[in-house]
Amino acid sequence: MPNNQREPHRWGFRDTRFILNQDSSVTLTGNRYSICGYAMPYFIPFVESLLQVRLPTGQPAGERQEVELPEPNRNEAFCAALALKFPAEQISFADAERLPHSHGQTTVDEIYQVLYGELPKPVDAVFYCADTEQAQTLVQLAAEHDVCLLPYGGGTSVSNALRVPADERRMVVAVDTGRMNRIIGLERDNMRVIVQAGICGADLEHQLREQGYTLGHEPDSIEFSTVGGWIATNASGMKKNRYGNIEDVVESMTVVTPSGTLQESMRAPRVSAGSRLHPVLFGSEGNFGLITEAVLKLRPLPEVTEYQSILFRDFAAGIAFLQALSKGTVWPASIRLVDNPQFRFAQSLKPALTGWADYKHRLQRWLLTSVKKFDLETLAAATIVIEGSADEVIAQRRALDRLVKRYGAIYGGAENGRRGYQLTYAIAYIRDFLMRYAVIGETYETSASWDCIETICDEVKQAAELEHARYGFPGKPYVSARITQIYPTGACIYFTHGASILGVDNADQKFHAVEQAMRAVILAHGGSISHHHGIGKLRAAFIAQLYSEATQKALIALKRELDPGNVFGASNNLFDRG
């Protein structure tokens, strides 16, 4: 049943959250991350200076303690048929389980609504599926009785993909894959593992590492997201440079559809056997069926893993560095470039320094600004993971050394690199903390060719300021950018956008409008609609700009063939009915 270590609605674990101390410092509770357990005195002043508002820390918004859901819409014939096939404990109509399965982690349209508003439409029941055979039975019964099924993995979607379509009139059942969490087989000689698709990324990686292997697929959400979710959203990980994106990791998959089970009998490194259907299922977002198993490619654990960081005079210099790096053949496993606002944001999460630590920090700052002539208001930084065999690590270091010298950058040290990489997992908790003090934040990711990146970054920030003023938000918006994955032809840009909503009527609707305007700007200047979050319902309005009419017809025909009764009525991307 539900994972009691996790928050039911907010991001993360129950024992981990940001709290405000009496002296206005903040602390991240628990001990899961390197920034847990100490006071951060600079965080609130930094946020207030960025947004140019005073946070209402004396009067935090009260979260709803109880949410009353409408009575579930029960298809009694389906429920009776289900009871004959499965134990009663595998299906739940309890509100405490229905509500968490009715949303993902999109800020405005989901989490804000659950905590401070009202989620428009919940699922009617939750079914906990254990394997492919159970999935086949469930899908058959749903098709017979005209019931809508919505696949649910780790609940980390940030595209409204898990929201129940507003016009759905059938009984809606969320199919929780959390029980499909086993490693089915490990082929050591073939460097291949067969897994159930509901296994959580962190759990899978832990088990593989005990055997001396890794997938190397590390999305920001690895603690909660599942293999099936990775496939359904066409995910990417922080170590993409070494291990590839999810489509490079998955060799084949099993998908249960109302028309039958999609499964390839061939198991080989590569096959040329006509058109293959499984590439179409990457990014399918629950529209065609339920992903139940996957065959994944393994890599041996790296002999060496090192961290490093690099400081650049400005973001443009960092982008030029990454572009030059992309033209070579030796890349670090991960390199992530943050702009100046995001760099300073990370600095605000450090503890107060005293004694020798304070003296050392002041000396380093003097050397950086007075000797090296770096401007703290413009500099950008990259966090780096170098891993592989000893020889590979040496080659990666040499490639970086050459470019660091060429672009006038300087190394920032291994500890800063380690901290910056691991901060990714902890920083997600900030959103829910700031929401209590009338600040809403969202992220937008895109991929773009190298010649578009700076323009997109500039235009998005300008659009945010214009829309912010247009809708009457107080103060200034916060918009920062980071480059998270690189390719020979371009890169992924990941934007973080925040704004104070203090005193703004219908703030969630207005923030959503600003968000859509910013996405339109990204598309207008050469960016993609998404790099790894998917489309869901949040970005579905832009579909007409992405697919030709013939492409849309082909996908619709595939949907009609695999799921003629629209059992999988998630209504995501092309199939959004809104």
Assigned token pair, 539: 């970005």
CA 172 to chain centre: 25
Assigned token pair, 428: 């997600």
Which regions of 331-379 does DSSP assign to beta strands (E)?
Answer: 334-338
213 close to 298: Cβ distance less than 8 angstroms: yes
Residue 444 is a catalytic residue: no
The CA distance from 497 to 341, in Å, is: 11
Return all residues near 31 (Cβ < 8 A) that are at least 6 apart: 37
Q: Give first-to-last CA distance, the chain, whole Å.
A: 32
At residue 323, the 3 state secondary structure works out as helix
At residue 474, the 3 state secondary structure works out as coil
Which regions of 284-343 does DSSP assign to beta strands (E)?
Answer: 290-297, 299-300, 304-312, 334-338
At residue 338, the 3 state secondary structure works out as strand
The CA distance from 510 to 504, in Å, is: 9
Q: DSSP for 172-213?
A: EEEEE-TT---EEEEETTTTEEEEETT-BHHHHHHHHHHTTE
The CA distance from 236 to 532, in Å, is: 6
284 close to 321: Cβ distance less than 8 angstroms: no
The CA distance from 60 to 76, in Å, is: 44
- Please, what's the b/e burial string for 139-168 (b: 16 or more CB within 10 A of its CB; e: otherwise)? bebbbebebbbbbbbbbbbbbbbbbbbeeb
Longest CA–CA separation in the chain, Å: 77
Q: DSSP for 31-64?
A: SSSTTBTSEETTHHHHHHHHHTS---TTSPPPPP
The CA distance from 257 to 548, in Å, is: 26
Positions marked active-site: 494
